[in-house]
Structure formats: C-alpha cells, structure tokens
Amino acid sequence: MPWPNSIPPDLRHRLENVLSRRDRGAPELWGEIREWLAEHGVEAPERLPEDPQRPAVRDGH
C-alpha cells in the first residue's frame, strides 16, 4: 500500500495540538508522530538514523 498524499486527519489534529504550544519543539512533535505510527502498527525500518544520546541534565549539578 502506498503512502497517502495528505496527512491523515487524526495525525493532523495531534500535530496541530503540539504545534500550537510555544513551549513545544521537535522532540514533542516526534513523540506524537512516533506514538501515532505505533498505534497504527507501523514498524520502524532497520538502521533508521538517530542523533547520538545526550547525557541527562541534572538539576542543580
């Protein structure tokens, strides 16, 4: 089955919600997309490129 030419309505709604908040960015957008893909049974391809993991930021240290 080919990819659709437009954004599925339920995904569009989720992305609009994330993008409407000024304190949200790429990580939150990716989180919504990732959740939507998983809910629809879309599996990640092998060797999908990723940014390197960053060390956790600790408050006050």
**Domain annotation covers residue 32:** yes
Q: Is residue 14 part of a domain?
A: yes
Q: What is the pLDDT of residue 12?
A: 93
CA distance 32 to 41: 14
User: What pLDDT sits at residue 1?
Assistant: 73
Question: Containing domain of residue 13, as a range?
Answer: 9-40
How many structural domains comprise the chain? 1
User: Is there a domain that residue 51 lies in?
Assistant: no
Left if phi > 0, otherwise alpha if psi is -120 to 50, otherwise beta: which for 47? left
pTM: 0.69
DSSP string, 1-59: -PPPSS--HHHHHHHHHHHT-TT--HHHHHHHHHHHHHHTTPPPPTT---PPPPPPP-T
In this predicted model, what pLDDT tens digit does every residue of 7-61 receive, in sequence order? Answer: 999 999 999 999 999 898 888 999 999 999 999 999 888 887 888 877 766 766 5
